[in-house]
Amino acid sequence: MRSGFPSPVVSELSSSVALLAVAVATGLTTVLFLYALGLRVANILHARDLARLRKRWWPIIAGATISADFDNASDLLVLKRGSRAKLLREWCRFRTYVRGSSDSSLELLAEQLGLLRVARRLMHGRSVSNKLLAVQALGFLGDDESWDDIEVLLEHDNITISITAAIALVHINANKAIGMIMPLVGKRPSWPRTQVGRLLNLAGPDIVTGPLCDAIELANSDEACRLLRFYESASMNDMDSLIARLLTSRSEPAFLAAALKSVRGQLPGEVIEGLATHEAWFVRMQASNLLGRSGRREDYRILEPLLSDAEWWVRYRAAQAITKLPFLGPNALRKLRDRQDDPYAQDILWQAMAEAGLE
């Protein structure tokens, strides 16, 4: 006859399993606690070491931005191995914000401290943060011997590493670097726009203009649009001449709109007139914007028909452009508005005049 109670063997097994589970849970909790405690202690020790390092070295590095006369040069060479990467990071922090003669003083200090050797060693380590630090430092130090190692990183999957490598190469040799980097600017949409602008401004318009124009001319529509975002880093006259030529030879609406947005001077009347009647409304809108910036008397006849455009944004930009024309005062604008047969044209001129305080 079966009993309703579990056998002693089953009860003993269940108790053993329960005790084992409790022991495992307790062990894991203890391990996690000790791990967290270890991290906390490590962070405290790191913070203390960093504070001591900054207290000792910040005055020396700051002094190097003013003078290259290091009276305690022999003392500078006494560095613990574990402190070298930290000191390199602090040196880079100062170097990021100085320009002119302070550059050479800081580089002389780095030479006496042996920071170039430190950077080269970190460059080949596994740590991503140390690799970034090394690339930045080698760029600041203008290390030609590290060029090939840094160039390889331009194709790195890590965006931060690749753009840092590009900036470092510009520091080392801007003429050589820009020709290599510029096509990548169009092909790497993930590169932060601010960082790309920084490296182009670092090189300067005399170096940037030629490679940027060449890259735009050879790029497809999407890549060319990305490259056009950096038109301000190049010579205005050269960029406007290139755009005027491409506007008559390329037909992609996205490119045409981006190119019109990038023009800083004036375009020939026949070029802008054709684009003001383009089938893509956003091209017509950018043409209206450009006509408003140019402010030429002959452009008025192109703008007035756009007040009756089927797209509201085109009408609005055309009306804004007309109110900016220097030869049209409030009275002339009122006459223009009153003679419009299209109520949409009248309404948009009312709005643009009111926004400009001309009503």
HSE value, Cβ hemisphere, 13 Å, CA-based, for 45 = 8
Per the structure, the count of domains in the chain is 2
Tell me: pLDDT of 1 over 50: no
The DSSP annotation for 6-47 comes to --HHHHHHHHHHHHHHHHHHHHHHHHHHHHHHHHHHHHHHHH
What's the mean pLDDT in 238-258?
92
Contacts of residue 44, defined as CB under 8 A and 6 or more positions apart, other chains included, come to none
Residue 156 lies in a domain: yes
As a whole number, mean pLDDT of residues 52-59 equals 73
Q: Which residue has the higher pLDDT, 36 or 133?
A: 133
Find the range with the poorest average confidence among 61-75, 152-166, 198-212, 313-327. 61-75
Task: Please report the pLDDT score of residue 347 as a whole number.
Answer: 92
The pLDDT > 90 percentage for the chain reads 46
Q: Is 62 part of a structural domain of the chain?
A: no
pLDDT for the residue 88: 86
Lowest mean pLDDT among 65-79, 165-179, 228-242, 259-273: 65-79
Question: What is the model's pLDDT at position 136?
Answer: 93
Q: Between the ranges 5-9, 46-50, 97-101, 201-205, where is the mean pLDDT highest?
A: 201-205
Q: What is the CATH number of the domain that holds 155?
A: 1.25.10
Q: Give Cβ neighbours of residue 358 (< 8 Å, ≥ 6 apart).
A: 323, 330, 333
Instruction: Give the C-alpha separation, 111 to 213, whole Å.
Output: 38
Query: Distance between CA 283 and CA 115 in Å, rounded?
Result: 53
38 Cβ contact partners less than 8 Å away, ≥ 6 residues apart: none
Residue 100 domain-assigned? yes
Please report whether residue 60 resides in a domain. no
Q: Give the CATH number, domain containing residue 347.
A: 1.25.10.10
Mean pLDDT for the chain overall: 84
85-125 confidence digits (pLDDT tens): 888 888 888 888 777 656 777 888 888 888 888 899 988 88
The confidence score (pLDDT) of residue 74 equals 46
Of 149, 172, 195, the residue that ends a domain is 172
The tokens of 192 are what?
A: 């932060």
- Taking only the tens place, the pLDDT of each residue in 291-318 is 888 878 888 889 999 999 999 999 999 9
How far, CA to CA in Å, does 167 sit from each of 56, 142, 173, 174? Answer: 30, 11, 10, 9
Residue 288 has a pLDDT of 93
Residue 115 lies in a domain: yes
Domain final residue pick, 172, 197, 230: 172
Q: Please state the pTM of the whole predicted model.
A: 0.76
Q: Residue 72 has what DSSP assignment?
A: T
Q: How far apart are CA 127 and CA 129, in angstroms?
A: 6
**Which of 136, 157, 172 is the last residue before a domain boundary?**
172
* Domain, as residue range, for 125: 84-172
Report whether pLDDT(355) > 70. Answer: yes
| pLDDT at residue 238 greater than cutoff 60 | yes
Please count the residues of the chain.
Answer: 359
Q: How high is the pLDDT of residue 111? A: 82
Q: Exposed/middle/buried for 19, CB within 10 Å: 0-12, 13-18, 19+?
A: exposed
Decide if 142 is inside a domain.
Answer: yes
Q: Is residue 345 part of a domain?
A: yes
Q: Which range scores top for mean pLDDT: 72-76, 78-82, 200-204, 327-331?
A: 200-204
Tell me how crowded residue 9 is: count the other CB atoms within 10 A of its CB.
Answer: 8
Say which residue, 164 or 59, is predicted with more confidence: 164
> Considering the domain boundaries, does residue 233 fall inside one?
no
Give me the torsion for CA of 331, 334, 335, 336, rounded to 10°. 120
Q: What is the mean pLDDT of residues 30-40?
A: 77
Say how far apart CA 206 and CA 235 lie, in whole Å. Answer: 7
DSSP 300-316: HHHHHHHTT-SSHHHHH
Higher pLDDT: 211 or 73? It is: 211
Confidence of residue 325 (pLDDT cuts 50, 70, 90): confident
- How does pLDDT run across 123-158, given as a tens digit for each residue? 888 888 889 999 999 999 999 999 999 999 999 889
Q: State what percent of residues in the chain have pLDDT above 70.
A: 87
Q: 48-63 as b/e, with b when 16 or more CB fall inside 10 Å? A: eeeeebeeebeebbee
